[in-house]
Amino acid sequence: MIDPTAASASEEATELAAALSIDDVRAAAARIAGQVRRTPALRVPALDELADAELFLKAENLQHVGAFKARGALHALSRVEPELRARGVITYSSGNHAQAVAYAARAYGVPARIAMPIDAPAVKVAGVRALGGEIIFAGTTSDDRRRAAIDLAEETGAVIIEPFDHPDTISGQGTATLELLEQVAEATEGGGLDALVVPVGGGGLIAGACLVADAEGVRVFSAEPSTCDALARSLEAGERVDVPPGPSIADGLRPVRVGALNWAIARASVQAAFTVDDDELGLAMIRLLLRAKVLVEPSGAAALAVALRRALPIDRASLGRRPRIGVLLSGGNVAPERVGELLARYGGQV
């Protein structure tokens, strides 16, 4: 039996997705100019050799709060009416968006309350608290913390800053891809990417990437943990599906579903979905650390793991050169003990 509420939400998301474009991302970039870092697009010859490609690594691990999430949070908060913003903001997140909202709230001088899972990484909990955010622990799934955030919003009257399923968040996250394509054009004297690989949790980053990449003729591919592959399963089924969050070292990529708006955007644009296991995530993270001296968290290494697999459907012969592949390194908030564990395990394989 079809749930009429879900069907209505899907229709609304489809209509809203059709109204969004690269122009919304450009407008977001203008609004947050000076508030976010223009992170580098790194070139690492040793990784190019492994991937047999020209990799352009967008280092969002160097963004404020160590993740691309600062873009969406700052943009979304800038769009809230001042009198409503003064009541404070609320969000729900496993970590990076939590820190981003705490950071944005501090920048605007308003309180932030964040629902986080009881098993959130200690490094991300500490980051939220250091930024002045008040944490409410709620369950282990994205649904648990979303319900807690809604209850808190009803109690306080504060506004919820959605972690991924909102036009303002999506267009803010899309500014990372907008910058990357500009940087690639500068580095290649007007050339562009042949492919872009994007990690997927709730889907805000890939939805924003699709708005930009579609307009510029760049093919988009997704990267997810093999145990939490909501987008891959949704693309296979032809409809948005839920997945039980399985174990993964990529703690930032474990929502039970892709956002409705994000799905409406991504389903028409993502060329293929790839999944990576913990071994691939750990090895990609340590290769990046030892070969490029760049530290990302396991979630931030997902797109690189896909690129290193050499499995993207690119006709290399017709290009007459190595393909240019953009890789979004989404975040760098990783516990020291995790780094030590993965170094011990994969340091000899780089």
Domains of the chain plus CATH, in order, are 4-67+167-349 (3.40.50.1100), 81-160 (3.40.50.1100)
Contact of 62 with 179, CB cutoff 8 Å: no
Residues whose CB is less than 8 angstroms from the CB of residue 132 and which lie 6 or more positions away in sequence, other chains included: 102, 105, 106, 111, 112
Q: Is 132 left (phi over 0), alpha (psi -120 to 50) or beta?
A: left
Reported confidence tier of residue 8, pLDDT bands at 50, 70, 90 = low
More confident residue, 245 or 325: 325
DSSP state, 100?
A: H
Q: Which residue of the set 94, 142, 171, 299 is catalytic?
A: 94
Bridge partners for 92 per DSSP: 115
Per-residue pLDDT of 94-139, as tens digits, reads: 888 999 999 999 999 999 999 999 998 888 899 999 999 999 999 8
Question: What CA–CA distance (Å, rounded) separates 183 from 209?
Answer: 15
Please give the share of the chain, as a percent, with pLDDT higher than 90: 85
Q: Which residue of the set 10, 69, 124, 269 is catalytic?
A: 69
Q: How far is CA 249 from the centre of its chain?
A: 16
- The separation between the first and the last C-alpha atoms of the chain, rounded to the nearest angstrom, is 51
Whole-structure pTM value: 0.92
Is residue 94 annotated as a catalytic residue, yes or no?
Answer: yes
Is residue 69 annotated as a catalytic residue, yes or no?
Answer: yes
Is 6's pLDDT higher than 80?
no
Looking at residues 62-80, what average pLDDT do you find? 97
Contact of 52 with 76, CB cutoff 8 Å: no
Is 140's pLDDT higher than 90?
no
The pair of three-digit structure tokens given for residue 274, joined into one six-digit string: 């790839």
HSE, side-chain direction, 13 A CA sphere, residue 234? 28
